[in-house]
Amino acid sequence: MDSKYKTPADIFKCQLCGDCCNGFGGTYVTDRDILKIASFINADPTTFVAKYCDQSGSRHVLTLGTNGSCIFFDTEKQCTIHPVKPYMCKAWPYIKTIIKNPENWNIMASACPGIKKDIPYKDLKQIVALESQKLDNLENL
Ligand code: SF4
Ligand code: SF4
């Protein structure tokens, strides 16, 4: 029988609740993210890191605003740096670790109301692998 889970939209639809932009979960920024976001907000990368990032181990994470959300989160506009948001924000929820550990999908679903639970692993892994590859292709243009 043909699977009913074929496309990304079959397994996830963002509800724009903003929960994933809330709290110190650590939105990591790569060096590439830093360059893109700094350019988008007309800052130089060093100033961007000093003003908008915290250190978490050896990596930079976006700092939080006074309301406890990501510094770039706005309750009306949602992500104010949407076109250049960090790789990890763009990738969500089609993250590579799901290809190896599909059982984590339902755990992610308990924190993200846009994720549909109990997707057959075969379909889930296929969709995530494709989306993840698409994103990497775009990022490497
Ligand atoms: S937690 Fe999930 S549904 Fe809510 S804004 Fe983030 S991605 Fe969308
Ligand atoms: S960069 Fe945008 S999508 Fe990512 S956590 Fe901040 S507000 Fe949310």
Cα→Cα distances 115→13, 17, 129, 141, Å? 7, 12, 16, 28
Any atom of ligand 2 within 6 Å of the Cβ of 71: no
Average pLDDT over residues 60-75: 93
Any atom of ligand 2 within 6 Å of the Cβ of 70: yes
Residue 3 lies in a domain: no
DSSP characters over 26-89: --EE-HHHHHHHHHHTT--HHHHHHHHEEEETTEEEE-B-TTSBBTTEETTTEETTGGG--HHH
Q: Of all protein residues, whose CA lies closest to atom 4 belonging to ligand 2?
A: 89
Q: Is the predicted pLDDT of residue 141 greater than 80, yes or no?
A: no
What six digits make up the tokens of 94?
Answer: 């089609």
pLDDT, mean over the chain: 94
Q: Which domain holds residue 95?
A: 8-139
Q: Which residue has the higher pLDDT, 25 or 94?
A: 94
Residue 82 lies in a domain: yes
Query: How far is 108 from 124, CA to CA, in rounded Å?
Result: 13
Residue 2 lies in a domain: no
Query: How far is 50 from 109, CA to CA, in rounded Å?
Result: 33
Any atom of ligand 2 within 6 Å of the Cβ of 119: no
Any atom of ligand 2 within 6 Å of the Cβ of 37: no
Query: How far is 124 from 136, CA to CA, in rounded Å?
Result: 18
Percent pLDDT > 90 in the chain is 87
**pLDDT-wise least confident of 3-12, 17-26, 39-48, 92-101:** 17-26
Q: Is the predicted pLDDT of residue 99 greater than 90, yes or no?
A: yes
- Predicted local confidence at residue 122, as pLDDT: 96
- The count of structural domains within the chain is 1
Residue 36 lies in a domain: yes
Residue 70 lies in a domain: yes
- Predicted local confidence at residue 26, as pLDDT: 79
Query: How far is 35 from 48, CA to CA, in rounded Å?
Result: 9
Average pLDDT over residues 115-120: 97
Any atom of ligand 2 within 6 Å of the Cβ of 109: no
- Predicted local confidence at residue 1, as pLDDT: 63
Q: Of all protein residues, whose CA lies closest to atom 2 belonging to ligand 1?
A: 112
